[in-house]
Amino acid sequence: MTDAPRFGPGTAAASVLLHDLITGPVRPAKVLAAGPAATYLEAGGRVLAIVTAGGVRLPCAAMLAVGGLLPAARSRLAVGCGVVYEDGRQLVAVRRWFDPRVRLAGVDERAVARFALVVRSRGGVDTLLPHDAPDRLAAGLTSGDAVGAVSALLGRGTGLTPAGDDLLAGALATLRALGSPAADRLGAVVRALAPTGTTRLSAALLEAADVGGLVPEAARVLRALAGGGDVEAAADRLVALGHTSGWHLAAGLLVGVTHAGAGLSDRVPAFEGDGFRRLRTPVRHLGDAGVAS
């Protein structure tokens, strides 16, 4: 597997969440799914997305430089020593790393209110989910019923990643980003149920969410909520992502930021009536906004 390549490999920038997998010993990989913009591999029980330049930078991805080639679905693949191998030659060499994790010291309540307006006015809940799925997730977090909240959403919905998983990922990553204690319980339940409750790719993205890992479009929204940019513009870009993923990620961010006490007083996001349903949720006032990623 480590013979000299017949021609120079392409290069990529990979997520630091995969550093141990990519730089570790060479191990076989298999293709989970393949499309025009990405090939999804499994190696050592982990998921690695090889994504073309300009594709969606998933928190479990290696992003190819311009001109880089995706692995062929029927080839013999392996990953290790900083390289993706195809049929014994070096196909992709990882030269740089990116960190998809977000950390926030707080958010601006007015920015959260503007973000809520964008979420409520765009898109809607997937037809394969309960019509009040975001409210149910918010209520489950408030009551402490993380098992019920996750079970109602995990693996449900349309899209390459089920919409219910996108909703969970948005909420979980936001709670982690804000350091909310609720992230521990939600994360534990997600990690316990996701391996058998949804697709391998979606389970990998939920695992990344449990350490605050998100696609850049969602990370920009959180930074904008912390005062680091134009909230409406960032929200528009996120909602436009994919067929169903963007809106559900956005709704999950809103659930998470509100549950953490960093937004709309004691109200949680709802998607019918006047747009909010009041719950008796204690508010935790956060300090000045700050971001580290």
> For residue 5, is it within any domain?
no
Beta bridge partners of 78: 28, 85
Dihedral angle sign, alpha carbons of residues 60, 183, 238, 233? negative
How many domains, in total, are found in the chain?
2
Asked whether residue 184 falls in the same domain as residue 239, the answer is: yes
Task: Give whole-number Cα distances, 282 to 82, 141, 278, 285, in Å.
Answer: 47, 12, 12, 10
The answer to whether position 244 is within a domain reads: yes
**Has residue 243 been placed in a domain?**
yes
* Sign of CA pseudo-dihedral 166, 172, 138, 143: positive
pLDDT attached to residue 290: 30
The confidence score (pLDDT) of residue 238 equals 97
Same domain flag for 114 and 218: yes
| Residue 292: inside a domain | no
| Torsion sign (Cα): 278, 284, 287, 290 | negative
Q: Do 119 and 262 share a structural domain?
A: yes
Q: Residue 277: its pLDDT value, please?
A: 34
Are residues 68 and 118 both part of a single domain?
Answer: no
Q: Do residues 79 and 107 share a domain?
A: no
Q: Which of 98, 125, 151 corresponds to the end of one domain? A: 98
Domain contains 109? yes
Per the DSSP assignment, residues forming a β-bridge with 12 are 64, 94
Q: Are residues 146 and 24 in the same domain?
A: no
> pLDDT of the chain along its 293 residues, tens only?
444 444 568 999 999 999 999 999 999 999 999 999 999 999 999 999 999 999 999 999 999 999 999 998 888 999 999 999 999 999 999 999 999 999 999 999 999 999 999 999 987 788 899 889 999 999 999 999 999 999 999 999 987 799 999 999 999 999 999 999 999 999 999 999 999 999 999 999 999 999 999 999 999 999 999 998 899 999 999 999 988 899 999 999 999 999 997 444 334 344 443 333 332 233 232 232 232 33
* Claim to verify: residue 217 and residue 252 sit in the same structural domain: yes
| 194 inside domain | yes
Nearest to 176 by CA among 211, 139, 228: 211
| Residue 2 forms part of a structural domain | no
> At 239, phi and psi to the nearest 5?
-60, -30
If asked whether residues 231 and 271 sit together in one domain, one would say yes
- Do 108 and 185 belong together in one domain? yes
- Which of 80, 98, 116 represents a domain boundary (last residue)? 98
Domain end: 73, 98, 123, which one? 98
The reply to whether 119 and 201 lie within a common domain is: yes
Q: How many angstroms separate the Cα of 35 from the Cα of each of 38, 49, 233?
A: 5, 11, 29
pLDDT score recorded for residue 199: 94
Whether residues 91 and 164 share a domain: the answer is no
Look at residue 7 in the predicted model and tell me its pLDDT: 55
- For residue 38, give its domain range: 10-98
Q: 141 and 228, same structural domain?
A: yes
Asked if residue 291 is part of any domain, the answer here is: no
Give the three-state DSSP class for 12.
strand
